[in-house]
Amino acid sequence: MTEMKEMKGVVFEEPFPHLVVYNLYDETELELIWEELNFYTKPGKLLEAKDFGGIVEKTNSHAIILDQLYRNYDTPDPRINGTPDFRPISNILKVNRKLFDTEILDIFAGIGSVSEEFIKFMPKKIVLIEKNIKNIKLLNTKFKNKSHKVIKGDVYSLIPKLDEKFNIIFADPPYDHQEFPKLAELILDSNIFEESGILIYEHYKNYELPEKFKNLKKVRNKKYGDSRISIYKRQVIDD
């Protein structure tokens, strides 16, 4: 399983809320991105509207020939040796896969609204735990991809039985469920958390959670209406 490296960034409120990450890519990855951007700017690579069937007067879009974009130029020309060799994806998409190589656990999943948002970021896998039979039927229709899994049952009984680790754990228990320490301890003791993993806990706005619990440190706390989102990051403890 891919190890998630700690990323550094700054949150800005203006001119709109956004996050700037400074060390998302290493030097090798930046070179791959630059190689592709450099390819785009070469004369004749980007096609004008008149060259790909666009309406010249109504579009300023450009197009590119995919066979050229995905061609692996580190190997001999296939026209010479007869063996075509293409990159499966572009350099930019290849580098950005580090954002999508994430395994997520969604507990108290309900009807899966949060995991539907996670899916937009193409995570490697989502496991959803829910005990309501009506919700389970709905989840099974929403998450048919074999990479995702819906499990019916009690969160406290099932977590110790999981045999995989997760980068992100999202918990949205009922508002009257004020047992964060019990749940957090179960998660930590069950060894299902990747190093530097993230626990996202949604709870009633007046239910105060600790700034730190064992090796979980609160890094974000935001109120949304009657709800509050508390985000904890697992701290690596040296032996």
Question: pLDDT class for 149, splitting at 50, 70, 90?
Answer: very high
Domain ranges of the chain: 27-96, 100-234
pLDDT at 3 over 80: no
Q: Which of 11-15, 77-81, 119-123, 173-177 has the highest mean pLDDT?
A: 173-177
pLDDT at site 13:
73
- Check: CB of residue 211 under 8 Å from CB of residue 220: no
Dihedral sign computed on CA atoms, order 175, 177, 179, 185: negative
pTM of the model: 0.60
List C-alpha distances in Å: 27 to 15, 19, 50, 77, 137: 30, 21, 38, 27, 46
Ranges 48-52, 106-110, 149-153, 181-185: which has the least confidence: 48-52
Check residues 56 and 224 and name the one with the higher pLDDT: 224
- Check: CB of residue 63 under 8 Å from CB of residue 47: yes
Mean residue pLDDT across the chain: 78
pLDDT at site 88:
54
Check residues 57 and 175 and name the one with the higher pLDDT: 175
- Check: CB of residue 170 under 8 Å from CB of residue 107: yes
pLDDT at 118 over 70: yes
The DSSP code for 58 is: T
Please tell me the distance from the alpha carbon of residue 201 to that of residue 138, in angstroms, as a whole number.
23
pLDDT at 8 over 50: yes
Q: What is the mean pLDDT of residues 91-117?
A: 78
List C-alpha distances in Å: 36 to 30, 32, 45, 208: 10, 7, 11, 48
pLDDT at 81 over 60: no
pLDDT at 147 over 70: yes
Q: Which of 60-69, 73-82, 122-131 has the highest mean pLDDT?
A: 122-131
- Check: CB of residue 139 under 8 Å from CB of residue 201: no
pLDDT at site 107:
96
Per-residue pLDDT tens over the stretch 171-217: 999 888 888 999 999 999 998 988 778 899 999 888 989 999 998 99
Task: Give, in words, the CATH class of 100-234.
Answer: alpha beta
pLDDT at site 176:
84
- Both tokens of 176, joined, read 């009257």
Check residues 224 and 58 and name the one with the higher pLDDT: 224
